[in-house]
């Protein structure tokens, strides 16, 4: 009997994964038959994961404009988008971790390590490229450790990444002596501070990273595997694919993204500071969850992650303009997160009802 070729087996596995990924995505966004193109487009827009975030951004902006005339000024929105850029670069890949069914709490520490590593290398006289590559290597190593602990050692991702958060922070703080590294040369600070019109280059870099993440998640075989692992890891492994190895890769690229964002922060501020990345992991997870990524895995898209980052930045800047105390910012963010997770639970229950109905 002729055995099927390896290429045929791989093709069949990929097709199966693609079908599983599309099924998960379709069930997450609609439970209604779409009788026409126009109606189908409306239903997809209405059930979009990003739509609630867009509505909140618009409402908060309109309310803010009525209270402060600077709310819609160019300077305010450049500040909002710049602040959101650092968060969104990390959020795009933290979202991949959550979609795959994992969690990475170490991104704040890796952000710090990337910033301080790049700053130290630049101060030592190394080129900007060497400094960036050095920071990316640090992020990849920490991400690899996270992935290995979570997938091969069997430690819970929460515990594994929380442990690396403390370890990395301690190492960086000890090495720097708790002191900032800077000022950094103009050639390095120009990476983030050069501008196109009024908009700093860091915003355009963030857009580029988001496009890469979107293509990776939406259109690549790797993205199909990421979503499939989060939906049904056992099914993925039954197809002969190494889910653990794929998960490790996700943690590695997330670590690299966090370190790269730290480099951009050091470039933007002209120094590396041991205070960088404080509570960043919470902000990133908040942005991802608010943006519609399911805490249960499989569901989410990059557009929602970006909008979640913008909303957090808008809340931070907006509440300051509206003269609210700093503690109120945390209250509002926490409230928005609770609402987002509640919506996620309702959506997930809806998915199960749809699946059950279709099986009948």
According to the model, what pLDDT value does residue 10 have?
Answer: 46
The residues with which 196 forms a beta bridge, in sequence order, are: 199
According to the model, what pLDDT value does residue 98 have?
Answer: 94
Three-class SS state of 329: helix
Q: Is the model's pLDDT at 48 over the cut of 70?
A: no
Q: State the chain's mean pLDDT as an integer.
A: 82
Q: Residues 27-38: pLDDT tens digits?
A: 444 443 444 444
Question: Cα-Cα-Cα-Cα dihedral of 31, 33, 38, 44, to 10°?
Answer: 20
d(CA 232, CA 299): 12
Q: Of 145-159, 175-189, 285-299, which one has max mean pLDDT?
A: 145-159
Q: Is the model's pLDDT at 298 over the cut of 90?
A: no
Three-class SS state of 230: helix
According to the model, what pLDDT value does residue 82 have?
Answer: 93
Higher pLDDT, 52 or 225: 225
Residues in the chain: 360
Query: Using 50, 70 and 90 to split pLDDT, how confident is the model at 153?
Result: very high
According to the model, what pLDDT value does residue 53 have?
Answer: 81
Q: Residues 65-105: pLDDT tens digits?
A: 888 778 888 888 999 999 999 999 999 999 999 999 999 99
Structure tokens at 235: 């099914």
Question: Cα-Cα-Cα-Cα dihedral of 70, 73, 280, 229, to 10°?
Answer: 130
Query: Using 50, 70 and 90 to split pLDDT, how confident is the model at 22?
Result: low
Q: What is the 3-state secondary structure (H, E, C) of 149-202?
A: HHHHHCCCHHHHHHHHHHHHHHHHHHHHCCCCECCCCHHHHHHHHCEECCEEHH
Three-class SS state of 272: strand
Give the other-Cβ count within 10 Å of 171's Cβ.
13
pTM of the model: 0.84
Q: Is the model's pLDDT at 44 over the cut of 90?
A: no
Q: What is the 3-state secondary structure (H, E, C) of 302-350?
A: HHHHHHHHHHHHHHHHHHHHCCCCHHHHHHHHHHHHHHHHHHHHHHHHH
Higher pLDDT, 87 or 345: 87
In sequence order, the 6+-apart residues with CB closer than 8 A to the CB of 294 are 28, 98, 99, 230, 300, 344, 347, 348
Left (φ > 0), alpha (ψ -120 to 50) or beta: where does 242 sit?
beta
d(CA 342, CA 351): 14
d(CA 358, CA 360): 5
Three-class SS state of 222: helix
Higher pLDDT, 163 or 8: 163
Q: How many CA atoms does the CB half-sphere of 107 hold within 13 Å?
A: 33
Surface-to-core class of residue 23, CB atoms within 10 Å of its CB (0-12 exposed, 13-18 middle, 19+ buried): middle
* Least trusted range by pLDDT, from 122-126, 154-158, 229-233: 229-233
According to the model, what pLDDT value does residue 231 have?
Answer: 82
d(CA 313, CA 307): 10
Q: Residues 305-318: pLDDT tens digits?
A: 999 999 989 888 88
Mean local confidence (pLDDT), 217-225: 89
Give CA 57 to chain center in angstroms.
19
Left (φ > 0), alpha (ψ -120 to 50) or beta: where does 103 sit?
beta
Give the chain's radius of gyration (CA, Å).
21
Higher pLDDT, 16 or 338: 338
Closest to 270 (Cα-Cα) out of 85, 79, 122: 122
According to the model, what pLDDT value does residue 39 have?
Answer: 44
Q: Residues 119-149: pLDDT tens digits?
A: 999 999 899 999 999 999 999 999 999 999 9
According to the model, what pLDDT value does residue 143 have?
Answer: 96
Q: How much of the chain, in percent, has pLDDT values that exceed 70?
A: 79
Query: Using 50, 70 and 90 to split pLDDT, how confident is the model at 168?
Result: very high
According to the model, what pLDDT value does residue 15 have?
Answer: 58
In sequence order, the 6+-apart residues with CB closer than 8 A to the CB of 124 are none
Mean local confidence (pLDDT), 289-297: 83
Give CA 356 to chain center in angstroms.
31
Sign of the Cα pseudo-torsion (54, 203, 135, 109, in order):
negative
Q: Residues 266-290: pLDDT tens digits?
A: 999 999 999 998 888 988 998 998 8
Query: Using 50, 70 and 90 to split pLDDT, how confident is the model at 24?
Result: low
């Amino acid at each position: 009997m002729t055995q099927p070729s390896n290429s045929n087996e791989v093709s069949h596995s990929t097709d199966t994964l693609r079908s599983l990924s599309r099924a998960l995505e379709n069930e997450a966004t609609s439970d209604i038959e779409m009788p026409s193109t126009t109606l189908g487009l409306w239903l997809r827009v209405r059930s979009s994961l990003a739509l609630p975030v867009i509505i909140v951004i618009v409402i908060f902006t309109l309310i803010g404009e009525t209270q402060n005339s600077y709310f819609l000024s160019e300077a305010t929105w450049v500040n909002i988008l710049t602040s959101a850029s650092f968060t969104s670069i990390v959020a795009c890949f933290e979202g991949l971790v959550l979609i795959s069914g994992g969690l990475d709490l170490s991104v704040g520490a890796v952000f710090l390590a990337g910033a301080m590593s790049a700053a130290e290398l630049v101060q030592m006289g190394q080129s900007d490229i060497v400094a960036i590559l050095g920071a990316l290597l640090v992020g990849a190593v920490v991400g690899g450790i996270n992935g290995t602990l979570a997938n091969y050692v069997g430690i819970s991702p929460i515990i594994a990444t929380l442990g690396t958060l403390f370890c990395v922070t301690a190492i960086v703080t000890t090495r720097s002596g708790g002191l900032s590294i800077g000022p950094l040369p103009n050639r390095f600070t120009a990476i983030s501070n050069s501008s196109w019109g009024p908009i700093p280059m860091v915003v355009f870099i963030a857009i580029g990273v988001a496009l890469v993440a979107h293509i990776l998640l939406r259109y690549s075989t790797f993205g199909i595997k990421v979503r499939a692992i989060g939906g049904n890891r056992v099914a993925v492994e039954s197809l002969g694919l190494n889910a653990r190895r794929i998960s490790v890769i996700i943690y590695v690229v997330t670590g690299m993204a966090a370190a790269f964002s730290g480099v951009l922060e050091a470039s933007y501020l002209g120094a590396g500071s041991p205070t960088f990345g404080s509570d960043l992991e919470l902000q990133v997870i908040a942005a991802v969850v608010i943006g519609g990524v399911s805490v249960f895995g499989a569901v989410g898209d990059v557009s929602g992650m970006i909008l979640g980052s913008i909303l957090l930045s808008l809340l931070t800047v907006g509440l300051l303009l509206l003269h609210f105390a700093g503690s109120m910012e945390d209250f509002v963010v926490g409230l928005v997160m609770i609402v987002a997770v509640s919506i996620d639970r309702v959506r997930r229950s809806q998915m199960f009802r749809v699946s059950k109905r279709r099986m009948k």
